[in-house]
Structure 1
């Protein structure tokens, strides 16, 4: 039966009301397969491709009637697309070996499609499943019809544009991508000299490591080449101009910008250019996991940097320091809708915290903390010393993870602010609550009244606000510089191992002890 006869037969069956288990497109695809001289060979070759791309490659050839698709022009466009792999922190050689693909003409078409689909999947979804490298990862993933997309791109002669559109196109990814290319250029130019840790270097002192520090600061853009050459010629003195550049370096790395080159700053100076480039590549991978459409109003918390940013109308309009989970009680990667603001919230202590840290201290301690036990649950009354402070930001279905105020304000002044039991403590939380409620004067008035009377009151925002808890150890700051944070949760290390990337990152140097009696979530 030829294709025309099959189509007429399907139409006749439909008119007669004969139900078929297959749709018309499925039957046409089957006819194409039967009539194609390549069907059997291509199916056999697809079975030899990596398992992760087999279904997409098979679907792609079904769309194309099981015919060869790669002509010289399309191969040239595919080559152009693959040449841009470095922008995404990827090695082109991991996907495409055009010499090897052309070595066997009989299998070149299928293997080229397999390579193209593998590259497309990485750009669209990342190389690894996030759930396989993080203990709790619950965010919205990117979803793309890759076979249909590649087919349409070929028809429209937009292969390069299609591949580039698969990766995130937001400014965060684009700027970090440009940062990766820049660090690879630094590596090709020789990187920077190794910094050896030792005694602290104080402003005004002299040290043999000063020229190495200058070279590093020039390479990363914290100091101009002209200033670097001039200061190097002046000798080994750690003077005011170099101190200003060191403060810039410290700010980029989330360190206290005090100008002292102590343990924390020396640890960050110990990273090589290769390690920092690979750290950027790991963070580009994390961004590829996420859906591309972002809510114009959202709250984003970077748990690696302990910073929160509030976006309104697609722009960052407010930022705060936060305290998030300690390494032993990490804040997970979550994306949940914001539900409500609770003024003067009591704290229903999780059973684990109560069992380990509160109940063993006895009744006198509970009384001193304004706590009591009800139906087996430890509850802390609302008040000025309550662990949740004066406001809680509730998230829907969030595994008891939420944002809140805190009476322990000192921790916001530390560089290492991963100290909680997993929840996110927000600096100036009452002010932030007023910002969120300000679009509705009635809601704002209710919140302000509750703050004055110290009444516990839940206030619905009346609109959906997305909250995203992210772990980004490399990102571009407000001044367009690549900023780094050390891998305090060791998630970079786990991801690097999953990707087969060798990376050696500095260890975190904590700058403060745990706050006394700090038992909040």
Structure 2
């Protein structure tokens, strides 16, 4: 929970030394220089803080009736509410969260002093609120999207589309007198191209509308309506409001990223970009950790590359992922390069997996160490990018190339699988004498494990933002790890006691 800083300028505003704003001090009636009509407009603007993703109830905005009954108390309360709201609009409500090193604020780059000085002298203080609300990057587009999302909630949300009891998929051309009319009603609420014609046939026009919806939701736009599409169709309208509220607050006073060449991985959007001085040098799809094994957010540096890497299988992967496969066919696992080691008389020895009774092996007390030799079938592919960290997370190639065509790509055990590892390698090895594609191919063809240090280490940021702005369009992706939910809880808990004063 964030405690707002004390600031010396409050001497001019409050006429006394000011404590931290987490405990708002009393203010004299002469706090604001604005005339009464402007103070009224300021109060009205504060009551519309929800359009900025903030909850007006947290700021104890005084009622207009108090202006006549207690003018001094009204101005003091209005000043307190204004300063708290202005601080949140500039610096964000959530200073930091556990396990979120990707969230960094630089409030020093946006000092409150000049804003408070202008607030004290402004004849129209509501304009400061407007300016502060639009200050974060992409705030205008996010606010427009938030207004549309709130309008949808006010209109009653989205019409429900009954999902099948099993895992049946609604296929193009199907006739369904229950789901197809409901689907038309749901899509017509957000897509003006969808006509409510009363047909119960999943016809080409409706298929095209579903494909547009799927593309916007980050789903495979094939027109087939399965479990994920049904879930997206029936996601509450309030969920979009909450995602946009989080997106706005995350951008407030966000620390600027360095202009040096760096690697950015948006885990929520499952995309990687290499950026330098504001230019994107490379972008690609990536595969990230499944929700049960979420990719951790972190800031590290890429220091080296390993060719033809072997895979030392983590214990969790061995017992949860590989044990069932060894039970089914241990010989097939051997053919994929997996080797099993155990302790015999205090020494580690290799064991023939076909001699082990795998059905008697307990996953809770898994007694073996498993390695996979380098090769085409290796889970790490042929290239591993090393970025030292305490979580044993790295980026790597993969033999499962078909998964990159999927719009939902949360399949890994936490590491980042790369769609185009060779193109990233070109950037990482830039400046390494003698390392061109021909030499890289020779090393790969040798099947020998080889490592090389990067000529210069590159910063790597694994971050999580479900809202991405492209032009004027806001694209939202599902909150696969629940990190937006956690941020929202912190956002709506911070200084909630202000409303109770």
Equivalent residue of 2:105, what SS? Answer: coil
Q: Does 1:329 align with 2:293?
A: yes
1:280-335 alpha-carbon deviations (Å, 9 max, x no partner): 22333344484244647443323233333333442445432222112222112223
- Is 484-493 or 370-379 further displaced after alignment? 370-379
Query: CA 1:148–1:337 in structure 2 vs 1: closer, same or farther (change >3 Å)?
Result: farther
For 1:403-422, what aligned pairs fall within 5 Å after superposition? Answer: 403-422=395-414
Contact 1:297 1:314 survives alignment (8 Å): no
For the residues of structure 2 that align with 1:335 and 1:162, how far apart are their CA atoms? Answer: 33
1:53 is matched with which residue: 22, 29, 32?
Answer: 22
Contact 1:358 1:366 survives alignment (8 Å): no
Q: Aligned-pair distance for 1:243?
A: 0.9
1:401-422 alpha-carbon deviations (Å, 9 max, x no partner): 2211122334334444322221
Query: CA 1:147–1:169 in structure 2 vs 1: closer, same or farther (change >3 Å)?
Result: closer
Equivalent residue of 1:72, what SS? Answer: coil
Query: CA 1:197–1:359 in structure 2 vs 1: closer, same or farther (change >3 Å)?
Result: closer
Q: Aligned-pair distance for 1:480?
A: 5.1
For the residues of structure 1 that align with 2:155 and 2:322, how far apart are their CA atoms? Answer: 56
Equivalent residue of 2:86, what SS? Answer: helix
1:148 is matched with which residue: 95, 103, 113?
Answer: 113
For the residues of structure 1 that align with 2:387 and 2:132, how far apart are their CA atoms? Answer: 32
Aligned partner of 1:250 in structure 2 is 214
For the residues of structure 1 that align with 2:140 and 2:295, how far apart are their CA atoms? Answer: 26
Q: Aligned-pair distance for 1:142?
A: 0.9
For the residues of structure 2 that align with 1:91 and 1:82, how far apart are their CA atoms? Answer: 10
For the residues of structure 2 that align with 1:420 and 1:250, how far apart are their CA atoms? Answer: 23
For the residues of structure 2 that align with 1:460 and 1:317, how far apart are their CA atoms? Answer: 21
For the residues of structure 1 that align with 2:232 and 2:205, how far apart are their CA atoms? Answer: 20
Q: Aligned-pair distance for 1:152?
A: 4.4
Q: Does 1:282 align with 2:246?
A: yes
Q: Does 1:308 align with 2:296?
A: no
For the residues of structure 2 that align with 1:123 and 1:106, how far apart are their CA atoms? Answer: 26
1:170 is matched with which residue: 137, 140, 155?
Answer: 137
Q: Aligned-pair distance for 1:454?
A: 4.3
Q: Does 1:119 align with 2:81?
A: no
Contact 2:46 2:61 survives alignment (8 Å): no
Aligned partner of 1:401 in structure 2 is 393
Equivalent residue of 1:138, what SS? Answer: coil
Aligned partner of 1:505 in structure 2 is none
Equivalent residue of 2:291, what SS? Answer: coil
Q: Aligned-pair distance for 1:37?
A: 9.9
1:203 is matched with which residue: 137, 157, 172?
Answer: 172
Query: CA 1:177–1:433 in structure 2 vs 1: closer, same or farther (change >3 Å)?
Result: farther
Query: CA 1:164–1:290 in structure 2 vs 1: closer, same or farther (change >3 Å)?
Result: same
TM-score (normalised: structure 2): 0.72
Q: Aligned-pair distance for 1:247?
A: 0.7
Contact 1:386 1:407 survives alignment (8 Å): yes
Query: CA 1:241–1:402 in structure 2 vs 1: closer, same or farther (change >3 Å)?
Result: same
Contact 1:82 1:96 survives alignment (8 Å): no
For 1:459-498, what aligned pairs fall within 5 Å after superposition? Answer: 459-463=452-456, 465-476=458-469, 478=470, 481-498=473-490
Query: CA 1:206–1:97 in structure 2 vs 1: closer, same or farther (change >3 Å)?
Result: same
Q: Aligned-pair distance for 1:241?
A: 2.0
Aligned partner of 2:147 in structure 1 is 181
For the residues of structure 1 that align with 2:275 and 2:230, how far apart are their CA atoms? Answer: 34
Q: Aligned-pair distance for 1:259?
A: 0.7
Aligned partner of 2:183 in structure 1 is 213
Contact 1:153 1:162 survives alignment (8 Å): no
Equivalent residue of 1:248, what SS? Answer: helix
Aligned partner of 1:14 in structure 2 is none
Q: Aligned-pair distance for 1:424?
A: 1.2
Structure 2: unaligned runs, 5 residues or longer: 1-7, 349-368, 494-501
Q: Does 1:137 align with 2:100?
A: yes
Structure 1: unaligned runs, 5 residues or longer: 1-28, 502-521
Q: Aligned-pair distance for 1:203?
A: 1.5
Aligned partner of 1:23 in structure 2 is none
For 1:241-390, what aligned pairs fall within 5 Å after superposition? Answer: 241-288=205-252, 290-293=254-257, 295=259, 297-350=261-314, 352-353=316-317, 369-371=337-339, 380-390=372-382
Query: CA 1:444–1:280 in structure 2 vs 1: closer, same or farther (change >3 Å)?
Result: farther
Contact 2:172 2:203 survives alignment (8 Å): yes
Equivalent residue of 2:104, what SS? Answer: coil
TM-score (normalised: structure 1): 0.70
Instruction: Indicate the structure whose relative CO is greater, using CA pairs within 8 Å and at least 6 residues apart.
Output: 2
Q: Aligned-pair distance for 1:164?
A: 3.6
Query: CA 1:204–1:352 in structure 2 vs 1: closer, same or farther (change >3 Å)?
Result: closer
Query: CA 1:261–1:380 in structure 2 vs 1: closer, same or farther (change >3 Å)?
Result: closer
For the residues of structure 2 that align with 1:246 and 1:341, how far apart are their CA atoms? Answer: 42
Aligned partner of 2:196 in structure 1 is 232
Q: Aligned-pair distance for 1:242?
A: 1.8
Query: CA 1:67–1:85 in structure 2 vs 1: closer, same or farther (change >3 Å)?
Result: closer
Query: CA 1:192–1:104 in structure 2 vs 1: closer, same or farther (change >3 Å)?
Result: same
Query: CA 1:154–1:484 in structure 2 vs 1: closer, same or farther (change >3 Å)?
Result: closer
Equivalent residue of 1:99, what SS? Answer: coil
Query: CA 1:112–1:104 in structure 2 vs 1: closer, same or farther (change >3 Å)?
Result: same
Q: Aligned-pair distance for 1:464?
A: 5.6
Query: CA 1:291–1:202 in structure 2 vs 1: closer, same or farther (change >3 Å)?
Result: same
Contact 2:87 2:112 survives alignment (8 Å): no
| Structure showing the higher helix proportion among its residues | 1
Contact 1:200 1:261 survives alignment (8 Å): yes
